[in-house]
Amino acid sequence: MARVYGIDPGTCTLKIYQKGTGIIYNQKNALAMIDGERIIATGDAAWEMEGRTPANIEVLYPVRSGVLAQVKNMLAQLNIVFDKIGEEHERLNGQDFLVASPSYATEVEKKALVDLINACDIKPRRIRVVDSPIAAALGAGVLLRECYGAMVVDIGADTTEIAVLSLGGTVASRMLNFGGYRLDESIINSVRLYYNFAIGRKTAEQIKIALGTAIHPEEGEVITKKVFGRDVVSGLPGSIAVDSLFVYLAIKDHIEKITEVILNLLLHIPPEMSADIMESGIILTGGVAGIKGLDKVISDLTGLKVHKCDNGSETVALGLGKIAEDPDYDFLAEQYSMLKIED
Ligand SMILES: Nc1ncnc2c1ncn2[C@@H]1O[C@H](COP(=O)(O)OP(=O)(O)OP(=O)(O)O)[C@@H](O)[C@H]1O
Ligand SMILES: [Mg+2]
């Protein structure tokens, strides 16, 4: 019998689920290329090189805004990753694949994902596409078959997808074309403006994860982190201390934008579904769900309970896993190309 793998190719992280085992891969969706032709690192190892490379090495990100942007690079990366994990886990050759796609992706973009997996060296048996919000809801534990109303807020690196689901389908959705990366950019810009100090993307992400908060920190609650970079005036390397109040102010507008769109979508759901959503609440997921207090801010604003996923980055892949493990959810996966199936 074919094994099943679930793939969530995010803008920031690539996650792979193996049926019967769980998440077997979760690393940065990045590769480092030398002289524009040879890959020298993938995943977290490539991300480690970000901002530190000589002119002939480039760190590349094959997925942009949740959709495939560099097909050749993504294919090369997947072949390396499949090769690596294929040695530890039984071979991936000739297996079934479920691949997550943002719900707003066009049919052509979804088909491109299928073609991508199909072109990999592992020669897949069958490839099917699942809409990310559906997978996220399943991954968060929603019993989609019985559920008449659930709201999913998935804040990833470059996209924020907000969807209202019912009985395994999408009733209404909104997409914002920003996520965690935009928060990093704002931190970089604020640090430059207020401290005359330049920091890189990796440092900004570390600041966001360590100090990011959606709630104004009270006096006495403010935490501080020492970070390294370059003094813009002297041009010399140095360090500064950044605190959580500063980060709160730097990212505040983006958090407000997200909550505004959640409210707006709630205003447009069919009245019959309001009671269901009141009962099931909002699922907050994606890596950025980890921002301190974000669940409380959304809950206070909407009056709904918010279920924050523990490791939001993996929720979609866990949902693909649910479909792989439970035949009752099989109908949620869509077949885009009929491949020759040999048993
Ligand atoms: N604890 C945390 N607090 C805040 N942000 C976090 C935390 N952990 C991860 N992130 C951020 O979450 C983002 C990655 O989330 P995720 O893995 O869900 O994105 P993705 O699926 O790759 O992107 P997309 O869905 O936009 O294509 C990054 O911007 C990362 O910095
Ligand atoms: Mg994602």
- CATH T-level assignment (fold) for domain 143-178+251-313: Nucleotidyltransferase; domain 5 (3.30.420)
Pocket residues: Cβ below 6 A from ligand 1: 10-13, 66, 156-159, 179-181, 205, 208-209, 212, 286-288, 290-291, 312-313
- CATH T-level assignment (fold) for domain 183-249: Actin; Chain A, domain 4 (3.90.640)
In sequence order, the β-bridge partners of residue 58 are 33
Query: Each residue of 253-267: pLDDT tens digit?
Result: 999 999 999 999 999
Give the number of other CB atoms < 10 A from CB of residue 271: 6
Domain limits, the chain: 4-136+315-335, 143-178+251-313, 183-249
Q: Which ligand is nearest to the CA of 179?
A: 1
Q: Which residues contact 228 (CB under 8 A, 6 or more apart)?
A: 199, 203, 237, 238, 239
pLDDT value for 340? 37
pLDDT value for 90? 62
Which residues of the chain have a pLDDT value below 70? 1, 87-90, 336-343
Mutation probe of ligand 1 site: the residue of 313, 314, 315 with most atoms within 8 A of C-beta: 313
CA distance 16 to 288: 19
Query: Each residue of 74-124: pLDDT tens digit?
Result: 999 999 999 888 766 667 778 899 999 998 889 999 999 999 999 998 888
Nearest one of 265, 286, 343, 248 to 140, comparing CA atoms:
286
Query: Of all protein residues, whose CA lies closest to atom 29 belonging to ligand 1?
Result: 180
Asked if the domains at 4-136+315-335 and 183-249 fall in one CATH topology, the answer is: no
Q: What is the CATH number of domain 4-136+315-335?
A: 3.30.420.40
- Tell me, rounded to whole angstroms, the distance of Cα 103 from its chain centroid: 13
pLDDT value for 137? 95
pLDDT value for 54? 94
pLDDT value for 94? 82
pLDDT value for 88? 63
pLDDT value for 148? 80
Question: Backbone dihedral region of 270: left (phi > 0), alpha (psi from -120 to 50 degrees) or beta?
Answer: beta
CA distance 87 to 80: 11
CA distance 336 to 98: 11
pLDDT value for 85? 85
